[in-house]
Structure 1
Amino acid sequence: MLEGCKTAQERWGGVHEIIDRWLEQRRQLVEMWVYLRDRGEFTPTDTPKIQNLCEMMIDYVSAGHFTVYEQLAREAKEFHDDGAVTLLGQLLPLIEESTQVVIEFNDKYDTKAHCNAQLEALPFSLQAMTVMMMERFQYEDQLIRELHEAHSEKSA
């Protein structure tokens, strides 16, 4: 029994760290977002911060898709009898939709030339992205809560 607990902790303990790092990335992303959103008007001097936001968004969604969701999917398959795989199948397409919007935003603002050409539209783009990302965060939180936390309790 002790060995089973140790194995479960070894198996899923690292997932906590992955999720914690990812949520820290989210916090930093949101801080940058709020900073830019609250600026109102933008000038070419803001371009580096806007490009930084693009980088942070791409890093965040990439970490989600290529690290966090994969770990959650492994857990879901391990505990396949509790509906976790179904939930994953329902939420990942919704999250994927927002990923496409993030990529489009990045393509629109990722370079100095792109960014400077779109500065007037940036406040509207940021507002639209805020709404979409808030939905995404809710889906991700639901995945963490219903997949990882429930499975952590079962494996303990």
Structure 2
Amino acid sequence: MLERCKTAQERWGGVHDMIDRWLEQRRKLIELCIYLRERGEFTPTDTPKIQTLCEMLVDYVSVGHFTVYEQLALEAKEFHDDGALVLLKELLPEIDSSTEVAIEFNDKYDTKDHCNAQLEALPFSIKALILVMAERFQFEDRLIEELHEAHSEKSA
């Protein structure tokens, strides 16, 4: 998963600052997920890291929904690219389902009390979150590749 993130950054790096920053957020999110997944068992001393994960997760999905996807939709409309709009309509429901999982994770572990009450379930929750987010990243990469890159080439 981390390797795919690096590949995406290398591929689209410099194309658009907003996407670059978002992909950097993704990289940091993946690194923290991997770190926490490798911890295995958790204690109350891990709570700050888990709360950081929750913050990063909510920030990442928010930027996607309220900035990146909107920008890609605007580009599709600007270039009168009906195929891009169809792709957006196809992939956004898939992405939305992962957003629900991310929000549920956040709600479950966002505070010290929430987190400490469910430490035993945390390893499973992190593994499940990683799987869902990996699928989301593939959908997002497809959006970037098929929408933004195509429109960047047309504007060049």
For normalisation by structure 2, the TM-score amounts to 0.89
User: Partner amino acid for 2:83?
Assistant: G
Gaps of 5+ in 1: 1-13
Kindly indicate whether the alpha-carbon contact (under 8 Å) linking 1:15 and 1:71 is maintained by their aligned counterparts in 2.
no
Q: Distance in 2 between matches of 1:81 and 1:62?
A: 25
Q: Distance in 1 between matches of 2:152 and 2:34?
A: 33
Q: Distance in 2 between matches of 1:51 and 1:100?
A: 18
1:143 aligns with 2:130: no
Q: Distance in 1 between matches of 2:80 and 2:41?
A: 50
The share of aligned pairs that are identical, in percent, is 77
Gaps of 5+ in 2: 1-13
Q: Distance in 2 between matches of 1:95 and 1:50?
A: 23
Q: How does 1:46-57 map to 2 (within 5 A)?
A: 46-57=46-57
User: Partner amino acid for 1:50?
Assistant: I
Q: Distance in 2 between matches of 1:58 and 1:98?
A: 12
1:100 aligns with 2:100: yes
Aligned length: 143
Secondary structure of 2:39's counterpart equals coil
User: Partner amino acid for 1:72?
Assistant: L
Kindly indicate whether the alpha-carbon contact (under 8 Å) linking 1:51 and 1:110 is maintained by their aligned counterparts in 2.
yes
Bigger radius of gyration, 1 or 2? 1
What residue is the counterpart of 1:17 in the other structure? 17
What is the CA distance between 1:130 and its match in structure 2? 0.8
What is the CA distance between 1:25 and its match in structure 2? 0.2
Following TM superposition, the consecutive aligned residue runs of length 4 or more in structure 1 with deviations greater than 4 angstroms are: none
Q: Distance in 1 between matches of 2:41 and 2:21?
A: 32
What residue is the counterpart of 1:79 in the other structure? 79
Kindly indicate whether the alpha-carbon contact (under 8 Å) linking 1:42 and 1:119 is maintained by their aligned counterparts in 2.
yes
For normalisation by structure 1, the TM-score amounts to 0.89
Q: Distance in 1 between matches of 2:27 and 2:128?
A: 19
> RMSD of the TM alignment (CA)?
1.2
Cα deviation per residue 1:125-152 (whole Å; 9 max; x = unaligned)? 0111111000000000000000000110
